[in-house]
Amino acid sequence: MTPRRVAAGAFNLALALALGAAARLAHVLWYRLFETSVGVDLAGSAALGAVFGLGHVLVASGDRVLGRAAETADSRVWRPRRVAAAVAVGFLLHASIAPAFTRFGLEPGGVNAVLAAGGVAVGLWSLAVRRAAR
């Protein structure tokens, strides 16, 4: 194992963890701006779905996200079904634990932890998508 591969692996893991942190941060910022209600929870679920979808594209694209969109292995990362799956996971994950929709009664810290874990899971899946595309 070369130092370059170790650094690339650490960077990849950091990307997956960053998606989890982004999900948590989006949730915290959303509820600091708005009061809790059914409409706000639904819109929050949509916003978190967008964070998961964008995160999937960024993680699955890796270091080539800002590169030219030539016909390379990295250009095959953008698959509408995969992005839609990531959006659906974010939306459903938040909707399944939002107080307006369920009786789980999780505190905001618990919701943040679930969203962060879900974000890391989607990030690891996105890394697998990137690896399969290469």
* Cβ-based burial of 74 (10 A; exposed 0-12, middle 13-18, buried ≥19): buried
When mean pLDDT is compared across 22-26, 46-50, 80-84, 103-107, the lowest value belongs to 103-107
- List, for residues 60-102, the tens digit of each pLDDT value: 876 555 445 555 555 555 678 888 999 999 999 998 888 777 7
Provide the residue ranges of all domains of the chain, joining segments of one domain with +: 17-133
Residue 35: the pLDDT is: 79
Identify residue 96 by its one-letter amino acid code: S
Q: Find the radius of gyration of the CA atoms of the chain.
A: 16
d(CA 101, CA 91): 12
pTM of the entire predicted model: 0.81
